[in-house]
Chain A
C-alpha cells in the first residue's frame, strides 16, 4: 500500500510538473483583453482524499470560468479540496468556495448547511442521472425488499447518494425499519434491516458474494460493470427512481448577477470547442443543464428523500 502510494505521488508530481511547464491547450482565455488581468479569484471546491487528482481534473474548469468573469473583477481560477462535508459547508458558506459540484445528497447537505443554492445539473461521466440497484445472490432466499428483514445490507458510505440516501429513503418509504450496524458480525432483529457501510462499491459487491451481507446497493452504472458471469448469478431486488447525476451549488456570497453569469458560462460550455475540452477533462462531463421539470420541482423531490433519511 505504501509503495503504491509513493508511486502515485511520484506520478502525480510528474504530471503536475508537466502541466505547469507545458502550455495547456484548454482553456484559452477569449477574447484577450488589452487591459491588465483582474486579480479577483473564482474558487471551485471538492471533497476528496486524493486532492492531486481532483486539482488536476478541475483546474481547467476554474481557469475557464475565471476567464469569463472579468467584468466581475475575476481573473484567477482556483481549486480547493476539502477533507469532509463539514469543511466544505463552511467554505461555501463563507465564500471561500464559490462553486461546488457533487451528487444530490452531499450537495443538499452542503447547501442546507451553508444556505447555498443548487442551480444546474452536471452530466458527470456523460450521465445525466442514475439510480440505485439493490441486489443479492441469486442462489439466496432474498428476492424482495421484505426478505431483507432480519438481514444485513451493505451501503457505500454515509454521504453517498446512490449508495446510501436514495436506497435508504426507498426502504423507509417501503416501510422497512433500517438500522445501522457497526460491522457485519452484528446481530439484526427480525423486524429490522441492518445496514453497514462498506465505504466502497466494490466492497459492497464482494461482501454479497462472500456472504458477509445478504444484499448490497450500488449505482446502476457500477452494477453494469460487474462481470457478466458474476452478474448472472446475482438477482436485483429493487431499483430506485433516478436522480440527477450531480448538482452545481453556488455560494450564497456571490451576487445575483455573478451567479447568473456563472449559470450562463456553464450552460454554454458544451457549445464551444474549448468548452467541450474542459468538460472532457472534468471527469468526462458531457454538459451542464437545467433540472428537468424545473429546479424547484427537482429540488423538492431530492429534499423529500433527504428529509426521509435525515428525519427517520
Chain B
C-alpha cells in the first residue's frame, strides 16, 4: 500500500486518487477474467483440434498402410491429393520408413522425392505414439504406420489454427470492450462515491478557512449520518466554543488596552508633572543660588564669619537640590522619549582636553591623582552627539571622584575596527559582586548607608546607561571591593566622509 501511494502524486485530489484506484481495480479484474477465459477457450479448442487430427490420422494410417508397405508413391499421392481437395487448408504428408516425405498434399504436380529425412517424419518413425506439435499457425500431428510388426512409414496432418486465433482475438477484443466500458462505469461510480466523501471534506476545509479568518457565524450543514456527519457536528461544537473564547479574549483585550492607555496616560502625566515640577523648582533654586552668590560677593554689605558660613551652606544645598532636579528632569525626558541626538563631527582631543582641565582642578581639591590616556590610533575626527558623550564622561568621572578617598582616577580613550571606548578607572571603595547589576537602576546605590555617606540622587548611572543605549552603545563595569572600579563605555565608530577638509573646518 505504501508503494502504491508513493506513486500517486501528492497534489492529486482525493476524488482523483479514489477514481484512479477503482478504475485500475476494475481493469485488473476484467483483464484477469478475460485472460482466464481465453486460456480455457484455448484449452478446449486445442483438445478439439487434436481430436480432429487424431481422426484424420487414423483414417490416413489405415488407408495408406498397404501402399506404404509397397511404397507405391503414386497411390500415396492419391491419398494426399484428397486432402488438397478438401479446401480446408489441411496438409497431409506421408513418410517412408526412414522419415522422408514421399507424398505431400501441398505439392500440386509430381512428388517431392526428398532424399533427406524430414525431422518431424523421423520423430514419428522413432516414436510409437501420436505426436502433436503446436506451431504458431498450425497444429502438426502425426503417427507411425505399422504393417504387422514392420514399421513401413508414417503419416501426418497439419491443421491451421486460424480458427483458434480468430476465436482468441474475438474474445480478447470483446474483453477489451468490456474492460473499457467497465472502467468507464467504474470511474464514474467511483468518482460519484468519492464526491460523497470529498464534498463534506471540502465543506470542512472551507469552514476551517473561515474560522482561521475569524468568521464563526456559518456552521457546517451536513446531512450525512456517517463518520463525516459526526466530524461536522464535532467541528461545529468546536467552532462555537472557539467563538466564545475569542469573544472573551476580545473583551479582555479591550480591557487590557484601556488599562494600558490609562497607564500610558499616567506615565505621560507623570513625566509632564516631573518636567513641569523640575522647571518650576529650578527657577526658585536658581534665584536662591544667585542671591547667595550676591551675598557672598558682598553686594548686600559685609557679613560676619557666621553669616558667611550659613550663606555658603545655603548655596551648597541649593546647588545639590538643583543637580537633583536636573537629574530627575533628564530621567523624565528619557522615559518620555524626548531625547534627541545631534550627531555631528567633533574633535575627540578637544573633548579629552576639556575633561582633563575640569578633572585636574577637582583632583587637586580632593587630593587625588588624575591621569588621561588616548590611544595613538584614535581617529582625529568622529561623528556623534558630543554633548551627551561629555555628559556620560562627566557622570562617570564624578562617580569615580565621589567614591575614591585616595589614590587616583584615570580616563582612557581606546579604539578598534568598529567601536571606540571610554574607560573610567578609580581606586575607590569598589562594588560588591551582588550589586554590579543594580547600580544602573534608578535611585539605586550600593546601599542606603553609602547613599547617605556619598550624597547623590542615585540617578547618575541610570541616566548614563540610558544615554549610552540611545547612542547605540553599551556600558559595563568591573570592580573588586576595596580595590576600585572600572566603567567602560563602548560606542559605535562613525567617521565623517570627507574627513580632512572637515577636520580643518572644525579646527578653525
Mark A residues whose CB is within 8 Å of B. Answer: 1, 3-4, 7, 137, 199-200, 202-203, 205-207, 209-212, 225-227, 230, 233
Contact = CB atoms under 8 A, between A and B. Distances in A.
Nearest to B64: A1
B73 interface: yes
Interface stretch (B94-102, B439-447, B458-466): B94-102
A118 to B, nearest CB: 30
B330 interface: no
Contact of A200 (B73, B82, B96): B73
Nearest to A234: B115
Nearest to B115: A233
A203 B74 CA distance: 7
Contacts of B114: 209, 230
Nearest to A138: B115
A210 B100 contact: yes
Contacts of A227: 110, 112-113
A212 B73 CA distance: 13
A203 B77 CA distance: 11
B46 to A, nearest CB: 29
Nearest to A137: B115
Given A209-B114, A230-B114, A230-B115, A202 B71 contact: no
A7 B72 contact: no
A267 B71 CA distance: 43
Given A200-B72, A203-B71, A206-B71, A4 B81 contact: yes
Interface in B368-401: none
Interface string B56-92: 0000000100000001111101110110010000000
B347 interface: no
Given A1-B63, A3-B82, A202 B73 contact: yes
B72 A4 contact: no
B464 to A, nearest CB: 124
Contacts of B63: 1
B102 A206 contact: yes
A223 to B, nearest CB: 11
8 contacts: A1-B79, A4-B81, A200-B73, A202-B74, A205-B111, A210-B71, A212-B71, A233-B115
Nearest to B103: A206
Nearest to B107: A227
B23 to A, nearest CB: 59
A172 to B, nearest CB: 27
Contacts of B98: 210-211
Given A1-B79, A210-B71, A7 B85 contact: yes
Given A206-B71, A207-B71, A210-B98, A4 B78 contact: yes
Nearest to B112: A227
A6 to B, nearest CB: 11
B122 to A, nearest CB: 14
Contacts of B71: 203, 206-207, 210, 212
A250 B78 CA distance: 36
B113 A203 contact: no
A260 B115 CA distance: 52
B82 A206 contact: no
Nearest to A7: B85
A7 B97 CA distance: 30
Contacts of A1: 63, 75, 78-79
Nearest to B85: A7
Contacts of A206: 71, 73, 96, 102, 111, 113
A233 B97 CA distance: 19
B102 A210 contact: yes
A227 B109 CA distance: 11
A175 B335 CA distance: 155
Contacts of A200: 72-74
Nearest to B116: A233
B113 A4 contact: no
A200 B113 CA distance: 14
A165 B452 CA distance: 169
A298 B96 CA distance: 43
Contacts of B110: 202, 225, 227
